[in-house]
Amino acid sequence: MSLLGKAGHGPAAYESGFAAYRAGVDRLLASYRAIPADADVRLAKKTSNLFRARAKNTAPGLDVSGLTRVIEVDPRAKTAEVAGMTTYEDLVAATLPYGLAPLVVPQLKTITLGGAVTGLGIESSSFRSGLPHESVLEMDVLTGAGEIVTITPDGPDADLFRGFPNSYGTLGYTTRLKIELESVPPYVALRHLRFHDLRELEAALDRIVLERSHDGEPVDYLDGVVFSAGESYLTLGRQTDEPGPVGDYTDMDIYYRSIQHDGPEPKRDRLTIHDYLWRWDTDWFWCSRAFGTQNPKIRRYWPKRYRRSSFYWKLIALDHRHNIGDKLEARKGNPPQERVVQDIEVPVERTADFMEWFLREIPIEPVWLCPLRLRDTGAATGTQPWPLYPLRTGRTYVNIGFWSAVPKSPGRIDGAANRAIEKTVTEFDGHKSLYSDSYYEPEEFAALYGGERYKELKKRYDPDQRLLDLYSKAVQRR
């Protein structure tokens, strides 16, 4: 639950919330000073939404335990101020009572606002509202030099503001963010459109993004699922205040299975805005099937409080520590598995090309699709306003997410499937998120993720190299 809830508006509430924030910052700075000068500075976090392995760090970490709360929701200005480690679950709980929500709410409840900005985030509103960092108005950042710097798009540290997205804590950590909110009605009406051909899906996706409508109805949310080359879907969401029956995918029904149908007409559904925002979290998209949670006999007795991405992630972390999955596969006479947990973006016109290659080369299904366009801020078309993740303005991209494992082939290089994906994404003028395993060589990595701009920011805001550099953190997994 948030610090303030619906009552948390007004000068007194802000003063109280900001006092708690300042106390959290003081605790953070004290922990920074306690870290030995020759040790890497890291967060002291027990949980994460990252899938990268990293070396164990014996030095104490940054204490962010006091930076987990909502400071204020301002319903008149449609803004929220939050501490950097606040989860979207807590923020949404504080904003929905006002009929407000963040412009982009990443799919999983325990993603933090600071994490979504420094590590990127996306959701079905991204075709109209861009990425989470684009709705940030200002941030307080703890730099590698141990200073708290307030950064804005047009302030003296605007270069850090632009370079912060996709820096993954290598330029600093957010302690406070002020973000835009938007009005949302109580419900979302859904239409699931089936496609038998990936190129038809690509054409429809491109058109709907630009028109923001389909068959005379507005489209406020847009994503899709590919089950196979011959079975794929786009889900179109329309905001509505019309009351009526709503679906429930927190109990026995499973959301992604509800999308599937055979008929030529769209399948319709309705969800509360709350349940729509968290529709993917209950089953971690479809990854809960690895734990048997989708088996009705197991699901019936699996406590609801454990049907959420944060709990499944703990099970995955346990597997990684003890290689449980590979041991079970070995008992069956199967080879070890290569983890393939990635989100990539390609230009919309390469969506079908990539999916055809992927379905042919990588035995993983389903696959998630989510279109995005950078927000129209008046920048010239084709520019790259965020240098560490250089998407171009005025261009539609499609995020393609796939999260599973494939058998390792004897004699093949480590990470063979992931390396093939990286190569193909680059060939298709795409980009890959860095929250999971990466295998780039240093020169290629620099060309893709900021190069000289990143070096300049690193030198200015982390002159003593207290924080890991991006390549060490994302590829070498230190």
Q: Whose structure tokens read 């924080």? A: 467
- For residue 286, being part of any structural domain is answered with no
Backbone conformation region of residue 373, classed left if phi is above 0, alpha if psi is from -120 to 50, else beta = beta
Interatomic CA distance for residues 375 and 88, integer angstroms? 21
Cβ neighbours for 376, distance < 8 A, ≥ 6 positions apart: 393
The last residue of one of the domains, among 131, 163, 183, is: 183
Predicted confidence at residue 400, as pLDDT, reads 98
Predicted confidence at residue 5, as pLDDT, reads 39
The last residue of one of the domains, among 154, 183, 212, is: 183
Contact by Cβ (8 Å): 370, 124? yes
State phi, psi for 214 to the nearest 5 degrees. -155, 125
Q: Which long-range contacts (CB under 8 A, 24 or more apart) does 134-137 make?
A: 134/103, 134/374, 134/375, 134/377, 135/102, 135/103, 135/104, 135/179, 135/180, 135/375, 136/177, 136/178, 136/179, 137/79, 137/178, 137/179, 137/180
Predicted confidence at residue 1, as pLDDT, reads 30
Interatomic CA distance for residues 193 and 233, integer angstroms? 5
Tokens of 382: 């084709």
Contact by Cβ (8 Å): 75, 9? yes
Cβ neighbours for 288, distance < 8 A, ≥ 6 positions apart: 282, 294, 307, 312
Q: Which of 194, 201, 224, 50 is nearest to 127 (CA)?
A: 224
Cβ neighbours for 67, distance < 8 A, ≥ 6 positions apart: 21, 24, 25, 28, 83, 84, 85, 86, 175, 176
H-helix or E-strand containing 182?
Answer: strand 172-183
Range of the domain at 25: 5-183
In eight-state DSSP terms, residue 133 is G
- For residue 357, being part of any structural domain is answered with yes
Q: Where does residue 310 rank: exposed (0-12), middle (13-18), buried (19+ CB within 10 A)?
A: middle
- For residue 433, being part of any structural domain is answered with yes
DSSP three-state, residue 129: helix
Q: What is the 3-state secondary structure (H, E, C) of 272-340?
A: EHHHHHCCCCCCCCCHHHHHCCCCHHHHCCCCHHHCCHHHHHHHHHHHHHHCHHHHHHHHCCCCCEEEE
Predicted confidence at residue 7, as pLDDT, reads 39
Interatomic CA distance for residues 83 and 141, integer angstroms? 11
Predicted confidence at residue 59, as pLDDT, reads 66
- For residue 49, being part of any structural domain is answered with yes
Predicted confidence at residue 4, as pLDDT, reads 38
Q: What is the CATH number of the domain that holds 25?
A: 3.30.465.10
State the pTM of this model: 0.93
DSSP three-state, residue 202: helix
Predicted confidence at residue 3, as pLDDT, reads 37
In eight-state DSSP terms, residue 107 is S
Interatomic CA distance for residues 249 and 253, integer angstroms? 5
Q: What is the CATH number of the domain that holds 361?
A: 3.30.70.2520
Sign of CA dihedral 17, 21, 26, 31: positive
Predicted confidence at residue 382, as pLDDT, reads 83
The last residue of one of the domains, among 183, 209, 242, is: 183
Domain count, the chain: 2
Cβ neighbours for 448, distance < 8 A, ≥ 6 positions apart: 426, 431, 440
Contact by Cβ (8 Å): 371, 419? no
Backbone conformation region of residue 285, classed left if phi is above 0, alpha if psi is from -120 to 50, else beta = left
- For residue 311, being part of any structural domain is answered with no
Interatomic CA distance for residues 417 and 395, integer angstroms? 28
- For residue 239, being part of any structural domain is answered with no
- For residue 274, being part of any structural domain is answered with no
CA 174 and chain centroid, separation:
16
Q: Where does residue 213 rank: exposed (0-12), middle (13-18), buried (19+ CB within 10 A)?
A: middle
- For residue 306, being part of any structural domain is answered with no
Taking only the tens of pLDDT, the chain with its 478 residues reads: 333 334 356 666 677 788 999 999 999 999 999 999 888 888 876 655 555 555 555 567 899 999 999 999 999 999 999 999 999 999 999 999 999 999 999 999 999 999 999 999 999 999 999 999 999 999 999 999 999 999 999 999 999 999 999 999 999 999 999 999 999 999 999 999 999 999 999 999 999 999 999 999 999 999 999 999 999 999 999 999 999 999 999 999 999 999 999 988 999 999 999 999 999 999 999 999 989 999 999 999 999 999 999 998 888 878 767 676 666 666 777 778 899 999 999 999 999 999 999 999 999 999 999 999 999 877 778 899 999 999 999 999 999 999 999 999 888 888 999 999 999 999 999 999 999 999 999 999 999 999 999 999 999 999 999 999 999 999 976 5
